[in-house]
Amino acid sequence: MTNEIYRTPQETAKQLRISAKSLANSRSKGKGIDLPFVKLNTGAIRYRQSDIDAYMKAHFIDSKEEESNGGK
């Protein structure tokens, strides 16, 4: 069993280079960043590092590939 790392919304927002408010809006409205989260019984929100990594990998754009596709 692996030890999963959980991040606070502030840590997650910093890593994604967005505001914590944008992350909260995405979470509450279901629009924007589609990132799974855990809501603890205390009401605290946490994001798994593996989900953050998967999101970043899924949205990675290789600039060389982008240029060869004409920016499409």
Q: What is the CATH number of the domain that holds 28?
A: 1.10.1660
pLDDT of residue 68: 59
Tell me how many domains the chain contains. Answer: 1
**Quick one: 12 exposed, middle or buried, by C-beta within 10 A (0-12, 13-18, 19+)?**
buried
Residue 48 lies in a domain: yes
- With H, G, I as helix, E, B as strand and everything else as coil, classify residue 56: helix
Determine the structural domain holding residue 43 and report its residue range: 6-61
pLDDT value of residue 14: 97
Q: Is residue 1 scored above 80 in pLDDT?
A: no
The yes-or-no verdict on residue 66 having pLDDT over 60 is no
The reply to whether 1 falls in a domain is no
Quick check: 48 pLDDT over 70?
yes
Per-residue pLDDT tens digits for 3-33: 899 999 999 999 999 999 999 999 999 888 9
Query: What local confidence, expressed as pLDDT, does residue 72 receive?
Result: 56
